[in-house]
Amino acid sequence: MALLEKVDKNIEARAWQGEIPIQSRYTCGLAGEKFFREIMENGRFAGTHCAECEYTYVPPTIYCERCFAKLDEWVEVGPEGTVQSFTVLLVAPDGTPLEEPDILALIQLDGADSVLVHRLGKVGLDELAIGMRVKAVFKPKKEREGSILDIVHFVPVNA
């Protein structure tokens, strides 16, 4: 068995091109509702705390992934935090080069144990450092719509 013949001329290598149209709604859940409402209405970060594990989740979850307890203790964290890592991204979602570098970071908000993934702004590439202190900049209140993009970016605390 096995293949006795193969397509051996490039122009005879036929292919059909297709695409998959997919549209979805992703509900934010109980914890997500509260997280985004706090941002929209008060420009504040809400997290959930597991007293057993001494761990604060931001974004919040209604259960602790460490001990599996149900979480209902809400705490306010941030809006300042510490950069745990950063990267300067130079490619667009489709893989083509970006015109302007995009700085992304892991930000551990004060009081949180988890990190938020977001952009850094108003910072020079030579100023970037793991451990730098940053704070959240929110969109003007009337423009907020309950999305992670209600946070414009994080900027250095002393900016």
Beta-strand (E) ranges in the chain? Answer: 45-50, 55-57, 73-77, 80-91, 97-109, 116-119, 133-138, 151-156
Binding of residue 145 to another protein (CB under 8 A) = no
Contact positions with another protein (CB under 8 A) in 109-138? 114-119, 130
Nearest distance, CB of residue 118 and another protein, angstroms = 7
Binding of residue 86 to another protein (CB under 8 A) = yes
- CA–CA distance, 127 with 106 (Å, rounded to integer): 16
Contact positions with another protein (CB under 8 A) in 6-45? 6-8, 10, 13, 15, 17-18, 20, 24, 26, 28, 32
Query: Could you give the 3-state DSSP secondary structure of residue 66?
Result: coil
Q: Which of 42, 52, 73, 84 touches another protein (CB under 8 A)?
A: 84
Nearest distance, CB of residue 113 and another protein, angstroms = 8
CB nearer to another protein: give 67 or 91: 91
- CA–CA distance, 144 with 125 (Å, rounded to integer): 29
Structure tokens that stand for 33 in this block: 């509702």
**Using an 8 Å Cβ cutoff, are 35 and 42 in contact?**
no
- CA–CA distance, 14 with 23 (Å, rounded to integer): 30
Interface region with another protein, contact rule CB under 8 A, candidates 38-46, 69-77, 85-93, 135-143: 85-93
Place of tokens 């001329």: 9
Residues of the shown chain interacting with another protein in the complex, contacts defined by CB under 8 A: 1-3, 6-8, 10, 13, 15, 17-18, 20, 24, 26, 28, 32, 57-59, 65, 84-95, 102, 104-106, 114-119, 130, 147-149
